[in-house]
Structure 1
């Protein structure tokens, strides 16, 4: 059984950022951060146009606490899976972060896209997962001394529930690591659809594709299954087999285990259960919150942490006019996450527990401050 500490979102006795600092101190989740340690602070800054995402002020407070312990923090994220999207390169993603108020000045720390310009800076980690036996971790995260995950809690289509496990399992892996979550195969070519445009050759930064008689040929010894080629092919001649829940959830759990292994368990997890929306931060159309603000939670066990937060969401009354009402899930105790998204969030936690990432059994420690 793991301790999960939390504070509510009332500001009757002190401001919320002071509560966050007390939560970190009382929970002891930063105790392993030593003087001179390089600390990666993993965020999801949302997309420009969304109005509900993790606020930079939370991150700045965490940075201040890390600095006070002698740590050297940097704020980090990894590129999105689609190289043609606004988050598809480090350059593009930093522009999105700046638009949402994430800058080195506002955060008090440098910003670094952990898997590099094209999402190819990675470290191979072998694991004994439910579906994955190896995956690729973003190198700047894998080489850090300590990792802090700060996640805004929300419902999610593929994971069911997006908080600590998803923030680390998806957010800390490279583009090839994300491909191993969302796809069960590497790229394959349908020569009947290919017109020999050679865009796949141009965009393959590993030189794994060559044209022979006008047809792309993939060198498996060079291909890391990043699937950039699949995303850029205008004729859809390059394809891969997409996963669906629960397969996707198993792979997210496996990937989170790989990140924990890369860091030797030196990870602190903080969940901000505020403005809990029915969609991920990856989109701009982010809807009304489904339940009232629940608070901020912290633990060294991501499974216990996510389980307590999910239990709080289920126990809370739904907000009228939100997706909770649309799904007929306004009553306390109604499983709002499952009814809204249709994906059983428990599968992700059960998978994570089964592979040894943590325990769903928690000891709840409420800080009445």
Structure 2
């Protein structure tokens, strides 16, 4: 049996559609949003009309009936042009809607998914805390049962899509109790709870001043005696830790696709520039030093694409994918940084000017080695899968 690397026609059609949208709609507008640190509502609304936020969800909930491979294709094509738009889609789907689809009750799915799939509403995932970082198990936010309510107190940080005008909910991880292990030590019981935007006591901070992703929304959240119905518990009590591990495993594939897009975008921009820019009487692309840089950049992007698609295929077919997701996320994020650095170098002084896309790509690349699991965490996960 031979391995066919080609996309099925429906996915190739999706890729071409998103590619055209990225170049015709996103590219001409996003730089202005980026420099103003403004959220691109107009672009997000068009993405919603295209069905991008519903790609991996069943039609019965308002989705497009696709899967994670379809989502990855869309993310890669968007990120070839801009990562702020791509991460808005990634977080809206992988972190905002997917927890409800994977773990929610039928009532929760029907209440929230249609608007999340249409892009009318964005969801967010409140996991990271100021003192937690990679140690997500050290959650300090608490949720105490009081009659028919959960009462939530705590703080979350670096939460994407959490403060836009169309944000409708944040799924929050919180300690809902403690268990005692064999040594007598107490261990926190972590659960996930849906908190609708506008709930009294739920405060959304001002947007962070960031190095990159400047047209995406990222904020700190605080919860002071926030009351939500007991029915807002997502899945079983005490399963929150296992839930977010699954969500992060899947999300790493999406981030890997996004990083691949950024890496390929660096190639696209650099090839075009190397053909047009002249120095010493000829295009700089005639120089072997530039050609070799571009060859290495293309090699990285191509290999990264194979890696994330392999992980996505395993997920879609119900096969184990944890190691492959970590491999894809680790490799793609690191080569995105490499390609962004080389693209800036090829562009010379112009690469340091924000009017050129590679400057934006350089600013956006580094967070890919940090968000949804640092490179160090990915290496730890891979080593565990190898038996250590």
Which category describes the TM-score, using the shorter chain as reference length?
A: 0.3 to 0.5
Tell me the TM-score normalised to structure 1 length: 0.34
- Structure 2 length-normalised TM: 0.32
Greater relative CO, 1 or 2 (CA 8 Å, sep 6+):
1
